[in-house]
Structure 1
Amino acid sequence: MTEQWNEPDGINPRGTVIVAAGRGENVDVYARFGRRIAADGYKVRVLPDVTTDLPAGFAAAEKLLVDDALPGPRVVAGSDTGALFALALAARGAPGLDGVITAGIPRAGVRPAIDLTGFDDEVEARTACPNHQGVLGRGGATPGAVFSAQIPTELIDPVGSVTVPVLGLHGGDDKISPLDGVRGRYAGGSLLVIEGGRHDILNDVTHRTVAAHVILFLERLRLGADLPVITKEAS
């Protein structure tokens, strides 16, 4: 089921962000992120773990992308396998898609070399944010799902090329998907490495900074697909 957050009353919507959850995640995981992005004037729609039924996930996202009630620019954002899903949508040339935000891209076919004694260790590896740890611990994510090597082939090696603007976000201390193993998946876009960040970078302790970069990307995209510069350091 799709969860949604809208712009504040009296504010004209500035665009739409469709969030694709990662492996084993439900829509509750992105409630805080959704509210924050919506507060800046963007409509947010969140899809639960799209890998449980990939064709249905593609169909749901593509339906939202051409929904006349959702203003452009329309961007798909995803974490973990949700990030691969967003890139696959772009490679498919999904109508209505104006940009992609990827976070914590997973390394396909490789199980993370992390010693775990239980779900608490898994949650600790995903985020240092106490609030997000609580969301995960209260059923926001299926234990062990993020460590699964079972990623659909259509997401690992999608047919087509990505031509829309892409913002990449990755935690510098992501032990579930170390950056050096996936850096190549961010090629062709702008990659921001969050110092000390863990795997759930949209919901880590730096979630405010990450959200600010997301908003800046969206605001630049509103000005054009070549992402005109809005701010720069004085010389």
Structure 2
Amino acid sequence: MPSSSVSSWDEPEGLAARGTLIVLAGRGEHGGVYERFGRRIGFDAYRVRALGDPTADPAVLEQAAKLLADESLPGPKVLVGSDTGALYALQLAAERTAGVDALILAGLPTGTWTAGSWEEEAAARTACPTHQGRLTGDPGFRRGAIDGTPDLPAPRLDLVHVPVLALHGKDDTISPLDRALSVYDGHAGVHTVVFHGGRHDVLNDALHRTAAATVVLFLERLRLTSDVREAPEIHDAGQTPSIRQLPLIAQELT
């Protein structure tokens, strides 16, 4: 799939869209890798537009800016970045790119990592056998790209003035948890959730349903208030659970 392609998932027919997520893919990925995430978030009436890997095609950032400025897409508009996509999402927010209402950062990279084989890379990316199989059979996915160390923007969270949801796997070997937490530490606007057993590709990991539920909760709270940290808790046992109701599989660190 060309890096310029935009993968799209919309709200179910008959429902009003509740906002828009713009996904920046990580190293080696393309927007279609996020089909499962996009469909699940779309089911909750949020539009999802997934773009390619900015490290392979800088034009992806121009695409993101155009989508943020597109008045036909409903707000709030949230930039979602996975792996290096998280660094680029941070860059756009730090530069005060128009239209960014919040950030969701998954598997923020914090250094270099090298895989000895595809099997090792797949296992480090995700514990989900379905997603491992999808990546293995995807001709548009670039194996080994995770080893690359492109010239990436520094994570300037001090320049970000929108709510941030940070998702990270406790067992992430590509970006070890302690290093990621050191980046987030001291920034009051960051809401951090750690997934026990989670690996690098948090949105496509074995706990992808929990990750999606956490994202939807964040989005609903964002719609209620401009400050997620002061938003009321959402409790509805028949729908997505509150983050605070997930102590066995996710840990909230704000």
TM-score by length of 2: 0.84
Q: Are 1:47 and 2:18 an aligned pair? A: no
* SS of 1:156 mapped into structure 2: coil
- The 1-side partners of 2:157 and 2:232 are apart by 31
What CA RMSD, in Å, does the superposition of the two structures yield over aligned residues? Answer: 1.8
In the TM superposition, 1:102-121 aligns within 5 A as 102-107=105-110, 110-112=111-113, 116-121=115-120
Distance 1:105 1:151, change over 3 A: farther
Distance 1:160 1:181, change over 3 A: closer
- Which fold has the larger relative contact order, with Cα–Cα distance below 8 Å and residues 6 or more apart in sequence? 1
Q: Are 1:12 and 2:2 an aligned pair? A: no
- The 2-side partners of 1:222 and 1:231 are apart by 12
Equivalence for 1:211? 212
The letter for the 2-side match of 1:122 is E
Equivalence for 2:62? 59
Gapped regions of structure 2 (runs ≥ 5): 236-243, 246-254
Q: CA offsets, 1:62-87, max 9 Å, x none?
A: 11011111000000001100111111
The letter for the 2-side match of 1:149 is T
The letter for the 2-side match of 1:93 is R
Equivalence for 1:128? 127
Distance 1:74 1:178, change over 3 A: same
With 135-144 and 121-130 compared, the bigger mean Cα shift is at 135-144
Shift of 1:217: 0.4
- The 1-side partners of 2:155 and 2:17 are apart by 34
More helix by share: 1
Number of residue-to-residue matches in the alignment: 227
Answer whether contact 1:23 1:49 (CA < 8 A) is retained.
yes
Distance 1:20 1:179, change over 3 A: same
Equivalence for 1:197? 198
* SS of 1:50 mapped into structure 2: coil
Answer whether contact 2:155 2:183 (CA < 8 A) is retained.
no
Q: CA offsets, 1:182-212, max 9 Å, x none?
A: 2232242011010010000111000000000
Misfit runs of 4+, over 3 Å: 157-160
- The 1-side partners of 2:112 and 2:157 are apart by 25
Shift of 1:151: 3.7
Equivalence for 2:143? 143
Percent identity reads 50
- The 1-side partners of 2:136 and 2:74 are apart by 35
Shift of 1:159: 9.8
- The 1-side partners of 2:149 and 2:65 are apart by 26
The letter for the 1-side match of 2:181 is R
Answer whether contact 1:197 1:204 (CA < 8 A) is retained.
yes
Equivalence for 1:87? 90
From 26, 31, 55, the counterpart of 1:27: 31
Answer whether contact 1:6 1:43 (CA < 8 A) is retained.
yes
